[in-house]
Amino acid sequence: MARILIVDDEQSIRKTLREILEFEKYSVDEAVDGLECLVKLKKDNFDVIILDIKMPKMDGMEALERIQLLAPDTPVVMISGHASIDGAVDAVKKGAFDFVSKPPDLNRLLITIRNALDKSSLVTEIKTVKRKASKSKTQEIIGETPSILLIKKTIERVAPTEARVLITGDNGTGKELVARWVHERSARVKGPIIEVNCAAIPSELIESELFGHEKGSFTGAHKQKTGKFEQANGGTIFLDEIGDMSLDAQAKVLRALQENRITRVGGDKEIKVDVRVVAATNKNLRAEINRGRFREDLYHRLATIIVEVPPLNERRGDIPALIDHFNKIICSEYGVAPKKFQTKAIDALTQVNWTGNIRELRNVVERLIILSQDEITEQDVLSYVIPSNPEFSARLKEIFDNFNSVEELKEFIEQQFHSYKTT
């Protein structure tokens, strides 16, 4: 149900419009002036705003300018008993969807509201499409630290070849991005890149997921299914978290790599596939081999080229550039202008222990954008980021366990923050 906010200082106008709009099955709220309109808009979302021009405290034109900052995609229909062509033109120039004279022609008003709702839906749809399109594009690898420059250089040299690539690194470091860069800069770029999260697929289903199955091959196999290797034909298959794959599945993957052929589950026909394999893991595969959990022959097949992605704590010099990058992307997704990060805020973020790596940094930047004002300060970081850091939380618990006096606790915390600010 579409939500409409009526802003008018005349109670009779609000009552009349409410009755008509509720009869048309709209959800309606009211405000008596521009200030109350802005208060309601900060707390809630509306699909259309009907805004009077002449009102006390804050008139409609001033409120319209503020609405453009708070909710730029919300259509605003201006109404006025002092209608003029110049007034209508001025309102539209300032961002109003349309201008209707008082007393409003109800049919025209309803048509205007429907058109405004159509525009609102279209804007939402366009944003969704743009967001999906931006996510589907391979993002840039951000950073100029030596380890990142080495990765970029390695990709540029390896990508044009057919060499298999094994990407290692902790969770959240950007292994998937490296894999996409390898594909995008290869001769297979016009082909698909098919991703398989080996850790997310149950061991009894991994074979069917990778190689497909024939109809009736097992309970629930109601129709033939094409596996990921076939789907990736002519392109790249990205086997993420391959260290979590079962030994049985590893043996079948090894055979596929050796022969460039697969057989669907329940089938006897060999299918030729032309794929480039890029694998990734957060595990030490050498240690897994010693424990008997990973096949050494498969490791050597996969590890023609090894790309090690460092944790964020080892490339802190890239954090300011990453913050700027995520700030632009996230604000673009939300349809707002990028926020300003104060230098001290960036310095504070640079000192955080990033156990979740780049994925955690992105989430933190998004949190700061949502919870902070136009400018993000060091205090915002201390309020919204540091307390959620596991190391900080453990230290805070230790403090509470060891101090009984409130005065001692306060003095200790002040010393810690003073030390934090000066390091």
Above pLDDT 70, what percent of the chain? 86
CB 59 within 8 A of CB 37: no
User: Is the sign of the CA dihedral 285, 288, 294, 297 positive or negative?
Assistant: positive
Which pair of tokens denotes residue 167?
Answer: 């990407």
Q: Over 90: is that where the pLDDT of 136 sits?
A: no
Q: In 10 A of CB 112, how many CB atoms?
A: 21
Q: What is the largest CA-CA distance in the chain?
A: 84
Helices 175-184 and 146-158 pack at an angle, to 10 degrees, of 40
Which pair of tokens denotes residue 229?
Answer: 């290797």
What is the distance between the alpha carbons of residues 212 and 267, in angstroms, rounded to a whole number? 9
Nearest to 245 by CA among 190, 206, 219: 206
State the pairing for strand pair 212-213/305-308: unpaired
| Radius of gyration of the CA atoms of the chain, in A | 29
Report pLDDT for 178. 96
Which pair of tokens denotes residue 307?
Answer: 């790309």
What is the distance between the alpha carbons of residues 172 and 197, in angstroms, rounded to a whole number? 14
Cα of 121 vs its chain's centroid, Å: 21
Bridge partners of residue 154, in order along the sequence:
none
Average pLDDT score over residue span 260-273: 89
Average pLDDT score over residue span 303-316: 96
Average pLDDT score over residue span 293-308: 96
What is the distance between the alpha carbons of residues 38 and 94, in angstroms, rounded to a whole number? 17
Find all residues with CB under 8 Å of 370, minimum gap 6, and list them.
Answer: none
Q: In 10 A of CB 65, how many CB atoms?
A: 12
The most confident of 205-219, 341-355, 394-408, by mean pLDDT: 341-355
Q: Over 50: is that where the pLDDT of 420 sits?
A: no
Specify the higher pLDDT residue, 214 or 121: 214
Specify the higher pLDDT residue, 140 or 422: 140
- Domains of the chain by range and CATH? 3-135 (3.40.50.2300), 146-310 (3.40.50.300), 314-422 (1.10.8.60)
What is the distance between the alpha carbons of residues 386 and 314, in angstroms, rounded to a whole number? 19
Report pLDDT for 413. 56
Residues 149-167 pLDDT 10s: 999 999 999 999 999 999 9
Average pLDDT score over residue span 286-313: 95
pLDDT band at 2 (very low <50, low <70, confident <90, very high): confident
pTM over 0.75: no
Report pLDDT for 311. 96
Stretch among 171-175, 302-306, 379-383 having the lowest mean pLDDT: 379-383
Alpha helices in 8-161 (DSSP H): 11-23, 34-43, 60-70, 85-93, 106-136, 146-158
Q: Over 90: is that where the pLDDT of 422 sits?
A: no
Find the length of the chain.
423
Angle at 393 between CA 392 and CA 396, to 5 degrees: 85
On the 0-12 / 13-18 / 19+ scale of CB atoms within 10 A, 267 is: middle
What is the distance between the alpha carbons of residues 13 and 28, in angstroms, rounded to a whole number? 13
Residues 69-99 pLDDT 10s: 888 888 999 888 765 666 677 778 888 888 8
Report pLDDT for 399. 53
Average pLDDT score over residue span 173-199: 94
CB 75 within 8 A of CB 116: yes
Report pLDDT for 180. 94
Report pLDDT for 393. 53
Residue 277, classed as helix, strand or coil, is strand
Bridge partners of residue 53, in order along the sequence:
none
Stretch among 59-68, 368-377, 398-407 having the lowest mean pLDDT: 398-407
Average pLDDT score over residue span 107-130: 78
Report pLDDT for 188. 94
Cα of 171 vs its chain's centroid, Å: 17
Backbone angles phi, psi at 121, to 5 degrees: -65, -40
Find all residues with CB under 8 Å of 259, minimum gap 6, and list them.
Answer: none
Residue 235, classed as helix, strand or coil, is coil
Question: Which helix (H) or strand (E) element contains residue 418?
Answer: helix 406-422
Above pLDDT 90, what percent of the chain? 47
Q: Over 50: is that where the pLDDT of 417 sits?
A: no
Which pair of tokens denotes residue 24?
Answer: 């048309």
Report pLDDT for 423. 43
Q: Over 90: is that where the pLDDT of 57 sits?
A: no
